[in-house]
Structure 1
Amino acid sequence: MRRINLYASIIAIAIVSTLFSCVDSDKNFYDSSYRMPNPMGDDFVAPDGFNWSMTASTTVNVEADNEDAQYYSLVEVLDANPFSTSDYNVLAKGTAKPGQAFSQEVIYPQSITYLYIRKTDPRGRVSVNALAVGDKQEDLSVRTAKALKAGTRSNEIPEKYPEETYDTTGAIELVGGADWNQSSQHLESGKKYIIKDKFSGAINNTGAYLNNGNCTIFIEGEWTPSQDRMHNANIVVLKNGKINILKSLLIADNSTLTIQSGGSLVGDNLNLTTKILMKNFGTIIVNSMTQLNTGSILYNAPKATITVAGKSVNSWEQAVYTMGAIYNFGEITVQEGVLKINSQDTTCFFYNGDGAVINTPTFIMGGIGTNDGTINTLKITNNGGGNPTFTNNCSLYAKESFDFKGTSGKIIMNKGILAGGIEGDNFIAIPSFVCGNSGSTFELNDGSMIKAKIISIPGTTIKAGTEGTRSLLKATESISTGSEAYFGGNLDIECPEGKFIGASQNYLGYTMEKSVAQYSPNGSKTIITSCSETTEVPDPGTDPKDPQFPIELEDNHEYSYLFEHQWPLYGDYDMNDIVMTIKKRKISTIKNKVKEFQMDIELSAVGATKKIGAAIMFDEVLANDITKAVEINDTQAQSFNLNDKNIESGQKYVVIPLFDDAHKALGRDQYIQINTISDHSSNVKEVKTISFTISFNEPTVSADAFNINKLNIFIITGGNGTNRREIHVAGYQPTQLADMSSFGGNDDDSSISAKKYYLSKENLAWGIIVPTNFKWPLEYVNIKTAYNQFNNWVTSGGTGNKNWWNDWDETKVFQTNKN
């Protein structure tokens, strides 16, 4: 009984196999009106125009700009950024030199939004440019048009105040000690007073006595104020005069304070409040300077010095709406604490002039400012907020860190340097450069540079001008973009390879215009020169030479070819009747013409139960182009009619046989399923690899002719010879030996006149190419069942689920269910 049941089961399996793997009878091929049910469902139709391609193409043109015009640069097109990852494929490779551009059609997966152009110039220097394709192409063209021109300024340079001379004739002398009180002699508006010796008495100059006007006080000797506040006074420290502040002095209410060259102000705390003008042509040494409020100006003239030994120099103290201005043309030194700009009102403006120097431990950049001189700091920050607009046209140094968080401000650099400082004749890098908010913008014009060890810029825009010298963003250790960063204009980026880090492995994390070039550290050819004539000199490279010819491109990216064998009738759509995988392509070129082409293709599975052969046609290589015999290893094709070049006779284009019996090629004498049923006795571990080499005596054929989209791999059913039944990948043309009488019959909708090949009346395909080492469905399992996203990819016309092959059911594919 067990034997009978077992025999019955075998018969049942055979019947099911017949129903799902082959047509009822071959006679149906000759009845062109016979239709099979749609294997994808009665309502399943692929959109018109959908070509089943999982790759896209673009022509990449690269001009060589190397100064050694007689030599060639090496050009490579990559599918990922080599500065971000080592997991990338070289899609095309060739040469360019001035007057001889590199131009090739490049094939890439449709899910890719960027290609990367890597150039190695004759001196061995490597650069990488991003080329937006697919979804990003429109965005690139729009944003490129908005790139800055070099040399723009956001703020006007304030005028220098001249040092005036003063007439003290008729000035009333103020005399007396600390216990002296001039209450009986009130200072009057419009009158002049003078301190000729030492004076420490109280001065009563309230507005009530001055009728809101100002008096003038000249200091020829030494004044030690006994009060903490002065109102409505124009105070002038003459060339040998001195103010000595014991505790604190507040200058208020429309007063002015002028210190002539040779004069000085020293002491504890100097406060300047609303609408105060302070002009320093001499020397100021105080512990702190605060409350530079609304409408006030602190002017430090050329050769004048201000030293704050204690806390800070501030443009605000009480609230964010208070404002002031600092115009420095001399030297300001803050020994401890901060120098802070904290308002965006136009009356609050910071300016550090040409040749001027500011030294401060911390520079809080929160308002409007321009630097035409040198600012030396340990830390530059926006204190966690504020939206500064700051223009740096010279040297801005932060020895420890640059930290902008929670800001959407703008920093504009015109031939400006933002670095850690200068050591010897070299710029040193800021240890940490952080800008952590979407909306921040850095504009680098005309040879500007940011140099730091570690750069973190999530959501930040860094763009250079489109005119003048290229600018440089230089990271000696790493760059992290986090969320969407943007790079544009004539910008060079230096960073160690593998250390340009996006948001995640599956999210690029940045947008990069084609004009932006990436280099290894010190690899940019741009010479950056600061206003102090310090230069960032690039690596000069080696002596110039051509790359080694022939140029070899070994592409190990795998492409799987899946076929249903019952054309012009539908099959069961498990897409495993024949499974072949291109494992390797190697192209050797001389001046972008092919010297040699090698390919390895693997026969992996046969779900069909009849004899099937296969061959490859090169759709853009004429048979007459072959001048040397094709070398084929261990040929599995005996029934093809080959000429002395080992290509098929009677063909316009080159056709190379792969095998004429798939089962025998895999070592089986019976026509049974191989590697499509779990734990089947016919399965094989050793698949068959067919290798061949095409060589040319004289390179004349373009490398484009050997692109993956020009490799027309097809299968042959029902025997070889003329008028044979060929089944090609959707959209690929038949050979001259194909029987095309079935075009338009049964389920097929092919048309020679419309150049529509091997697509059904529902626009389904009998052959597809998947750009990966594909896990094919088990026997009798429809591909849309094994791959959940396949259905949507097809019905969307290829716009949705572009990586559908990454989502499979492990119970329904052969590779995870061999046993």
Structure 2
Amino acid sequence: MAVAVVASSCQKDLGGSPDSPVVPGAVPADFDWKTTRNVTVSVSTPVVEGATPPYAVIRIYSSPILSAENLAARGVAKSAMPFRSAFTLNAGTENLYVQTTLPDGTKSVKMVGAHGTVAVTGASMKAAAAPKMRLAANARVGSSMPDYPKMEAPDAASFDSKAVITAIESGKSYQLGASWAFYAAPEYLIPAGAEVAGKLDLNGGFSPYQAPILYVAGKLTLSSLNIGRAKLAVLPGGEVKIGTLKIQPSAADGAALYVFADGKLSVGKPNVSGKCIVNNGTLTVDGSLDMNNGLTVYNTATGVLTVTDEMKVSNSARIYNDGAVTVDDLKINSDGEFHNCENALLVVNDECELERSTAIYQRGRASIEEMTARGTIWVNCHTSVNELEAQGAEFNFSANAGLDAGRVEFNNTNVSMARGAIFTMEEYNADEKGGGNRFAFTGDADPRAVVLISEKAYTRKGHETYFSGAIEVVYDNDRDKDYTIRKDYLTDGAVMSASQTTIITENGCNGGKDPVNPDPEPEPDEYANVPGHTYTYCFEDNWPWLGDYDMNDVVIVSRIDRMTSKDGGKVSALTINWELRAAGTTYDIAGAVQMDKVQTSDVAGVVSSHEGFGSGAFASRGLDADSPCAVIPFFNRTEELLSASNTWKGQPAAAIRKHTTTVTFSQPVDIASVLDSEMNFFIAPKQRTSEIHMPGYAPTASGIIGKGSFLPSDPYKFFVTEGDQTKNNYMMWALMIPGEFRYPAEANDIRGVYEHFMAWASSNGAEHAEWYLESADAGRIY
């Protein structure tokens, strides 16, 4: 005998105990089949430098990707009126991202756990600062250049006249410092005005003066020079040209080669070891410069070092630059280090290679055409790299430092960023090769660090890049669906925006970038439209008997936009954006939604765009007047909307028609009464009384529950007491799935199509909460 279910309200408590023990490895009797949960949230007004603003606009996102489709709530917080609202979330959502915007447009984002009830304290913020003047490129600042050997320019008159060289005479020895030389002296001078060429020997180590010094104030030209324990000093105005220069590891303490300010040294083929070179003037290498064996080079604030080919820093050699260094190629290996100090400029015209166990300390400015890094790079000031590749490297950004790049390819590389640091690039891993990378924030999070990708970014399983902490990734996921950053890769408070919201003050070390000047944020109207989230409702049409579980007999996609009060608590109207995606049924089926917490009398009007509404289960496309709770029909027959089933692979598909149904309330209703979870979508095959709902939802006043294979406590869960079908116990006939779900093709059981579907169901929803986004058999999906 058929039994009509008559409810005294629009809700049904299906309670009670399970009718039968759980079948081992199958679906638990008490599994609710919900892919969502509800959250209630309150957000206090922020504190801005000790004061309270007149208002702050609150946006709450369900994802670290701060985009419109992830917006869960929006409104206003005031000193006497916290923002309070409620919304439905995907069950797998772990965190919420609360963005607070001041009237001047300044934004702050706070990550909080997505619990049932969330109370968010007001953000502590600063108003947008006025743009500062750009630092001059040549402004002098304190330098990390360490102490280095210094020499004083001697008084030319103090030299013994016999130690003054104005020419190299044939037949005389010029092994300086030796007793058999043309003259034995501790110091020699080529005076201003003199032009000397020939052969000199600065090997040193001879008696009586083992470490002589040659000062050059004039001009000296040598085809080759070997410096051992002696020293060469180029005085102001002096010019030295050497074809082949070799500095021995046995060089004396101090600088084996010392160029004073306004001195000039030009070398063709140097090979330098020794202990130290100091350049305060102009040092030009017309070819390659090989620095090794622990040599330290100091290019001071007045120094200009130019290498027309390759500079190689190896075997624990060090270079400290506080002036200007320009090279064609720079190669650092075997514990070599390059220290680009605060006032320095490094220009690499071609390629910079940084091997393992090496480091670049970039505290000044640097412009590099190509860099391949396997070592450690300290980005303390503005660095520009056109093409940047890193394998097993480490990048450490100090506060307010900036790195600008074109193409970036990282693999197994770690990036540490402090507050206000900014890393901009055009493409990130667009070659689809790299992975295992991590960008992490360190220190005080005011302001956030920024990673800005203007064109392409590639992150996938096997090609992961994780961003964690107070980092804003600026990237537009909608630009190219093949190049996206998934929300899974934004962790521990990292967020992503299509345009930069973090305000970083302009300074010389971030390249003098103009700071973000946010647009003012006006106070919203009393009611404003808040777009909702998309859900897919999948139905089996064989209730109350076992279905084939391809979940495509009726597929409806819906997004509900709400006119929400600015305090977040009320809704004056809503628009259901819906479309019928599939109809793999042979029955005449109607589709509708019941608002379980809204009375029919609360609805002032319903307007539907579906002009082709035909005859059938519902009298009209307006409000169903026979129901105590608000029931809104969508269609009476699927043929009104689809000319084909859209379930058979390989067969022509019917066009999808998008429709809207707008519901206006007589008086604003509580937002909790019109959450997505309170929308009871259902279908009615063959006749109005044979409704099919999701588990846990009640039929409408017109629905009749007769006999069938279902639980007495929940008519929308399959159940039999014996036979082969017991393995299907507690299955359902309808599901609500977040997003635009790719449903199975005809005759393909969802349990075999989506790899983790049964793990989710059998674990009572504890595992694989987002199974619909995980592994699936693509060949069996429509």
What TM-score results when the alignment is normalised by the length of structure 1?
0.66
Please point out which of 229, 240, 243 is paired with 1:244: 240
Kindly provide the amino acid, as one letter, of the partner of residue 549 in structure 1: Y
1:438 aligns with 2:434: no
- When Rg is computed on C-alpha atoms for both structures, the one with the higher figure is 1
Letter aligned with residue 90 of structure 2 = Y
CA pair 186-165 structure 1, distance change in 2 beyond 3 A: closer
Match of 1:52 in 2: 33
Please point out which of 348, 351, 356 is paired with 2:344. Answer: 356
Q: In the alignment, which residue of structure 1 is the partner of 2:309? A: 311
Q: Give the match's secondary structure for 1:291.
A: strand
For 1:802, the equivalent position in structure 2 comes to 772
**2: CA distance between counterparts of 1:361 and 1:602?**
58
Counting only pairs closer than 5 Å after superposition, residues 806-817 of structure 1 correspond to structure 2 as none
Matched, 1:590 2:565: yes
Q: Distance in 2 between matches of 1:785 and 1:516?
A: 35
Residue matched to 1:12: none
Structure 1: which amino acid aligns with 2:321? N
> Which stretch has the larger CA shift, 437-446 or 520-529?
520-529
Please tell me whether residue 450 in structure 1 is matched to residue 423 in structure 2: yes
Q: 2:317 pairs with 316, 324, 334, which one?
A: 324
Give the letter for the 1:372 counterpart.
R
Q: 1:312, 1:717 → 2: CA distance?
A: 79
Contact 1:563 1:575 in 2 (8 A): no
Q: 1:326 and 1:589, CA in 2 relative to 1: closer, same or farther beyond 3 A?
A: same
Q: Which residue matches 1:544?
A: 522
1:438 is displaced (CA, Å) by 1.9
Give the 3-state SS of the residue equivalent to 1:709 in structure 2: helix
Amino acid at match of 2:59: V
Q: Corresponding residue for 2:399?
A: 414
Q: Determine the C-alpha separation between the residues in 1 that align with 2:658 and 2:190.
A: 105
Q: Which residue of 2 aligns with 1:342?
A: 332
Q: Which SS does the other structure have where 1:311 is aligned?
A: strand
Change (3 A) 1:522 1:689: closer
Q: CA deviation at 1:188?
A: 7.0
CA contact (8 A) 1:557 1:583 kept: yes
Deviation at 1:769, TM superposition (A): 1.3
Equivalent residue number for residue 89 of structure 2: 107
Shift of 1:204: 4.5
Answering whether residue 375 of structure 2 is matched by residue 388 of structure 1, we say yes
Q: Deviations over 1:166-214 (max 9, x none)?
A: 7786877164515343179862799613124455454455577469964
Distance 1:686 1:648, change over 3 A: farther
Distance in 1 (alpha carbons) for counterparts of 2:145 and 2:211: 26
Give the letter for the 1:53 counterpart: K
The residue aligned with 2:152 is 165
d(CA) in 2 for partners of 1:394, 1:809: 52
Does residue 384 of structure 2 align to residue 397 of structure 1?
yes
Write the distance in 2 (CA, Å) between the matches of 1:314 and 1:224.
25
Cα distance between partner residues in 2 of 1:238 and 1:577: 88
Preserved contact between residue 422 and residue 451 of structure 2 (Cα < 8 Å): yes
Query: 1:523-542 to 2 correspondence within 5 Å?
Result: 524-531=502-509, 534-541=512-519
Q: Say whether residues 1:187 and 2:175 are aligned partners.
A: no
Q: Distance in 1 between matches of 2:376 and 2:638?
A: 74
Which ranges of structure 1 fall in alignment gaps of 5 or more residues?
1-24, 30-41, 135-155, 317-321, 420-429, 669-673, 680-684
Give the deviation of 1:342 after TM superposition. Answer: 0.6
Q: 1:525 to 1:170 in 2, by over 3 A?
A: closer
The code of the aligned residue for 1:332 comes to V
- CA separation of 1:576 and 1:312: change in aligned 2, threshold 3 A: closer
Structure 1's 513 and 574: CA in aligned 2 closer, same or farther, altered over 3 A?
Answer: closer
**Corresponding position of 1:671:** none
Whether the aligned pair in 2 keeps the contact of 1:558 and 1:583 (CA below 8 Å) is: yes
- CA offset digits 1:221-280 (Å, max 9, x no partner): 54444643121113333455x352241221223323353645624333262522321122
Amino acid at match of 2:556: T
Aligned residue runs from structure 1 range 76-155, under 5 A: 77=61, 89=69, 92-97=72-77, 100-101=82-83, 103-108=85-90
2:407 alignment partner AA: F
Q: What is the SS of the residue equivalent to 1:699?
A: strand
Q: Are 2:394 and 2:414, in contact at CA under 8 Å, matched by a contact in 1?
A: yes
SS at match of 2:677: helix
SS at structure 2 position matched to 1:802: helix
Per the alignment, do residues 56 and 213 of structure 1 end up closer, same or farther by CA in structure 2, a change over 3 Å counting? farther
Is contact 1:350–1:370 with CA below 8 Å preserved after alignment? yes
> What whole-Å deviation, never above 9, does each CA across 1:467-511 have from its counterpart, x for those lacking one?
24333333444444462122233333334563376657xx83971
- In structure 2, the partner of 1:682 is none
Distance in 1 separating the partners of 2:541 and 2:474: 47
- Counterpart of 1:410 in structure 2: which amino acid? F
Say which of 416, 438, 446 aligns to 1:461.
438
- Is contact 1:494-1:524 (8 Å) kept? no
Deviation of 1:403 after TM superposition, in Å, equals 2.1
Shift of 1:164: 3.6
Partner Cα distance (1:133, 1:102) in 2: 15
Preserved CA contact (<8 Å) 1:616 1:714: yes
Q: 1:764 aligns with which of 723, 727, 730?
A: 730
Q: Are the aligned partners of 1:416 and 1:531 in contact in 2 as well (CA < 8 Å)?
A: yes
1:34 corresponds in structure 2 to: none
Check if 1:553 corresponds to 2:531: yes
Task: Decide which of 655, 668, 671 is 1:699's aligned counterpart.
Answer: 668
Secondary structure in 1 matching 2:374: coil
Matched-pair contact (CA < 8 Å) for 1:550–1:595: no
Matched length: 680
CA distance in 2, matches of 1:162, 1:214: 16
The question of whether the paired residues in 2 share the 8 Å contact of 1:395 and 1:531 is answered with: yes
Aligned partner of 1:392: which letter? V
- Residue 61 and residue 177 in structure 1: after superposition, are their counterparts in 2 closer, same or farther (change >3 A)? farther
The answer to whether the 8 A contact 1:79-1:108 is kept is no
Question: How much has 1:323 moved relative to structure 2?
Answer: 3.3
Contact 1:666 1:688 in 2 (8 A): no
Structure 1 residue matching 2:730: 3-state secondary structure: coil
Q: 1:414 to 1:55 in 2, by over 3 A?
A: same
Asked if 1:711 is matched to 2:679, the reply is yes
Matched, 1:471 2:449: yes
8 Å contact 1:77–1:90 — kept in the other structure?
yes
Give the C-alpha shift of residue 159 in structure 1.
1.6
Distance change (3 Å), C-alpha of 1:356 and 1:461: same
Alpha-carbon spacing, 1:116–1:481, altered in 2? closer, same or farther (3 Å): farther
Residue 748 of structure 1, aligned match among 711, 714, 718: 711
Q: What's the C-alpha RMSD, in Å, of the aligned pairs?
A: 5.6
Name the % identity.
16
Question: CA–CA distance in 2 between the matches of 1:480 and 1:726?
Answer: 46
Structure 1 counterpart SS, 2:472: strand
Structure 2 gap ranges (5+): 6-22, 116-142, 649-653
CA contact (8 A) 1:63 1:96 kept: no
What does 1:591-670 align with in structure 2 at a 5 Å threshold?
A: 591=566, 592=568, 593-599=570-576, 617-619=594-596, 621=597, 623=599, 627-629=602-604, 631=606, 646=625, 648-649=627-628, 654=629, 656=631, 665-666=636-637
Determine the C-alpha separation between the residues in 1 that align with 2:449 and 2:39: 29
1:786–1:808 CA contact under 8 A, matched in 2: no
1:485 is the counterpart of 2:465: yes
Residues 416 and 547 from structure 1, CA distance in 2 versus in 1: closer, same or farther, beyond 3 angstroms? farther
Residues 534 and 102 (structure 1), Cα distance of their counterparts in 2 relative to 1, 3 Å cut: farther
Distance 2:263 2:477 in 1: 55
After superposition, the Cα gap between the structure-2 partners of 1:529 and 1:47, relative to the gap in structure 1 and judged at 3 Å, is same
- Structure 2 CA distance, aligned partners of 1:246 and 1:562? 89
Cα distance in 1, alignment partners of residues 379 and 736 from structure 2: 52
Partner Cα separation in structure 2 for residue 406 and residue 769 of structure 1? 46
Indicate if the aligned counterparts of 1:409 and 1:440 stay in contact, CA closer than 8 A.
yes
Q: 1:730 to 1:536 in 2, by over 3 A?
A: same
